């Protein structure tokens, strides 16, 4: 009895997989892998983007530390305090890699330290 059930189950599974259209397999084989990470810290005025495309092999380790520490109790105080964005990236990739960092002065036009803690 077991010998008869096994081939029947195998045939049913094969027929179920055969119902997929050819375009499905073409689309799956033409996919370009993409991995993108974007982190923004508005209090620090910094952002980082890490992107990998069209890669055959990707082995990466990314550590992101984002802090927004405003120790002021005053609601009208827009002081950034000790806001930081730290990123540590270690990657081995066969393909295209793009890493971008953007930062800006969040207190433009202000002279001296932006806050007093």
Block means of pLDDT (10 residues each) for the chain, 117 residues, are 64 61 70 89 90 92 87 59 87 94 75 51
pLDDT of residue 117: 43
Cα–Cα distance for residue pair 107/85, rounded to 1 Å: 17
The whole-number pLDDT of residue 31 equals 73
Q: How far apart are CA 14 and CA 8, in angstroms?
A: 10
Taking the model in full, what pTM does it have? 0.60
Identify the pLDDT of residue 101: 94
């Amino acid at each position: 009895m077991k010998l008869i059930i096994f081939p029947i189950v195998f045939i049913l599974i094969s027929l179920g997989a055969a119902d997929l259209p050819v375009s499905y397999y073409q689309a799956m084989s033409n996919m370009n892998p993409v991995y993108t990470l974007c982190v923004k810290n508005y209090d620090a005025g910094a952002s980082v983007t890490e992107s990998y495309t069209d890669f055959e092999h990707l082995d990466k380790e990314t550590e992101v530390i984002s802090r927004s520490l405003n120790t002021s109790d005053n609601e009208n105080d827009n002081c950034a305090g000790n806001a930081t964005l730290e990123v540590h990236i270690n990657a081995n990739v066969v393909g295209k890699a793009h890493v971008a960092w953007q930062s800006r002065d969040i207190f433009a036009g202000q002279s001296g330290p932006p806050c007093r803690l």
